[in-house]
């Protein structure tokens, strides 16, 4: 089994063979304690990631993409955040049960992170040499000299010219794209098995975006790590992902290999999302398409389909219960009552 298996929480979770996946998430739930009560940001997501696989996680702002991935290594501020349920299996251990010290060994070691805004993600008062060498010295026990050599290697790997001289440069002396390359170098420093990229190209302009995507593609072939790529750009996903998870209201509503998502989108939200993509053919076509309505309010756990208020196929079932993920074929599943037996909503 090379692909992913996933279910929404309401259904039984199939036993995952640990040997096949590098990362396996079951029924993860994260809430935020706020002054207005609980916000249910992640509502029972499950997925597995095979070694070397690139999973694209797509969804609009507030759909829980980032929060769910930050939850894996408890990188959220706690409080207010709290992981109330679920398990995250990595290397035979449940990450959510680990102590802080054990978690720290994984962060930046076996699991690397790249964040959205390279302008603010690097510490402005330390030179980038220090910042790249930090994980090397923590996780690989390198001395200063070894770490510096490895840092030069990494900078060359991510395509920064005259790397040795640049070790002493500070973040403000790099352009946005170059800073993101530095961030990637930091994330890759200790040969991670999994790389989590949280909208790594969103803050960059389009040509730089393309460079970074090409870079990650190349690095993935060279280094063979599994990647979770969070984005709201379906175009980016089409270019690089093996599998796609579409998120809405803190749940995965559709999961599929990348081809099927575009050729055979099943969930009404995915369909709507794809319709909003502007086309390159023909002339200007008036206004851009949008999905009517608002993103769901997450102040209660979903009791009904959270897309129901905006859905054009909505039926009585949708208001009665939250649909689980239904298998369509192979590795394609969709959390919509239209996929249930009988096929009506």
Partner 1 sequence: MLNYTIRRLILAVPTMLFISFVIFAIIKLSPSDPTAGLPLTIPPEVREKIREALGFNEPFIVQFFLWLKQLVVTEPLYWMNQKFGTEFEIGQRMISYQTRSPVLDLIVQRIPQTLWVVGTSYIVGIIIAVPLGIISAYKQYSVFDQIGTFISMIGFSVPTFFTGVLLILIFSVNLGWFPSIYDTTHVVDSWGSFWYQIKQMIMPVMVLGLFNAAQISRYMRASMLDNLTQDYVRTARAKGVKEQTVVLVHVLRNSMIPVVTVIALNLPSVFGGALITEQVFQVNGLGQLLILAIQGGDVPMVQTVTVIFAVLIVLFNLIADVLYGMLDPRIRYD
Q: How far is the CB of 8 from partner 1 (least distance, A)?
A: 28
Buried b (16+ CB within 10 A) or exposed e, 110-126: bbbbbbbbbbebbeeee
Residue 125 as a binder of partner 1 (CB under 8 A): the answer is yes
Residue 105 as a binder of partner 1 (CB under 8 A): the answer is yes
Q: Which of 183, 188, 241, 272 binds partner 1 (CB under 8 A)?
A: 183
What is the DSSP pairing of strand 93-94 with strand 81-90? antiparallel
Residue 109 as a binder of partner 1 (CB under 8 A): the answer is yes
In angstroms, the CA 108 to CA 187 distance is 6
Show the DSSP H helices in the chain as ranges. 65-72, 100-106, 118-121, 128-139, 144-157, 163-166, 176-188, 206-223, 234-240, 258-263, 268-275, 316-320
Q: How far is the CB of 76 from partner 1 (least distance, A)?
A: 9
Contacts of 255 (CB under 8 A, 6+ apart): 4, 6, 47, 243, 244, 245, 246, 325, 331, 332, 333, 334
Residue 317 as a binder of partner 1 (CB under 8 A): the answer is no
Q: Which of 5, 83, 106, 197 binds partner 1 (CB under 8 A)?
A: 106
Residue 274 as a binder of partner 1 (CB under 8 A): the answer is no
- The residue range among 126-134, 254-262, 279-287, 326-334 that interacts with partner 1, by the rule CB under 8 A, is 126-134
Residue 186 as a binder of partner 1 (CB under 8 A): the answer is yes
Whichever of 6 and 96 has its CB closer to partner 1, that residue is: 96
Residue 139 as a binder of partner 1 (CB under 8 A): the answer is yes
In angstroms, the CA 189 to CA 180 distance is 14
Residue 135 as a binder of partner 1 (CB under 8 A): the answer is yes
CB atoms within 10 A of CB 151: 27
Whichever of 29 and 139 has its CB closer to partner 1, that residue is: 139
**Are 314 and 345 contacting, i.e. CB atoms less than 8 angstroms apart?**
yes
**Are 317 and 337 contacting, i.e. CB atoms less than 8 angstroms apart?**
yes
Binding to partner 1 by CB under 8 A, coded x per residue (else -) over 63-102, reads: ----------x-x------------------------x--
Q: Which of 45, 122, 298, 311 binds partner 1 (CB under 8 A)?
A: 122
User: Angle at the Cα of 143 (from 102 to 133), degrees rounded to 5?
Assistant: 70
Residue 33 as a binder of partner 1 (CB under 8 A): the answer is no
Residues near partner 1, by CB under 8 A: 73, 75, 100, 104-109, 112-113, 115, 117, 120-127, 134-135, 138-139, 170, 172, 183, 186
């Amino acid at each position: 089994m090379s692909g992913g298996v996933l279910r929404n929480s309401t259904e039984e979770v199939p036993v995952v063979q640990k040997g096949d996946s590098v990362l396996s998430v079951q029924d993860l739930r994260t809430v935020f304690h706020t002054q207005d009560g609980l916000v249910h940001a992640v509502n029972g997501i499950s997925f597995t990631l095979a070694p070397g696989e690139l999973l694209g996680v797509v969804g609009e702002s507030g759909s829980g993409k980032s929060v769910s991935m930050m939850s894996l290594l408890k990188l959220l501020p706690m409080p207010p955040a709290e992981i109330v349920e679920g398990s995250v299996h990595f290397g035979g251990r449940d990450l959510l049960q680990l102590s802080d010290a054990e978690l720290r060994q994984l962060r930046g070691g076996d699991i690397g992170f790249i964040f959205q805004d390279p302008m603010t993600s690097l510490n402005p008062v330390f030179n980038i040499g220090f910042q790249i060498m930090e994980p090397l010295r923590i996780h690989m026990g390198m001395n200063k000299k070894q770490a510096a050599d490895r840092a030069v290697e990494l900078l060359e790997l991510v395509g920064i010219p005259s790397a040795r001289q640049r070790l002493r440069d500070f973040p403000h002396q790099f352009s946005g794209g170059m800073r993101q390359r530095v961030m990637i170098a930091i994330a890759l420093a200790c040969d991670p098995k999994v790389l989590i990229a949280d909208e790594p190209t969103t803050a960059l302009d389009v040509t730089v975006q393309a460079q970074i995507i090409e870079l990650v593609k190349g690095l993935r072939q060279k280094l063979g790590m599994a990647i979770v790529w969070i984005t709201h750009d379906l175009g980016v996903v089409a270019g690089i992902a093996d599998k796609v998870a579409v998120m809405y209201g803190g749940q995965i509503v559709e999961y599929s290999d990348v081809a099927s998502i575009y050729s055979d989108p099943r969930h009404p939200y995915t369909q709507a999302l794809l319709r909003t993509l502007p086309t390159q053919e023909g002339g200007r076509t008036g206004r851009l398409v949008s999905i009517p309505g608002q993103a769901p309010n997450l102040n209660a756990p979903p009791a009904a389909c959270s897309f129901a208020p905006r859905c054009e196929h909505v039926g009585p079932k949708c208001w009665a219960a939250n649909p689980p993920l239904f298998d369509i074929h192979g590795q394609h599943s969709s959390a919509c009552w239209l996929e249930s037996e009988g096929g009506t909503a």
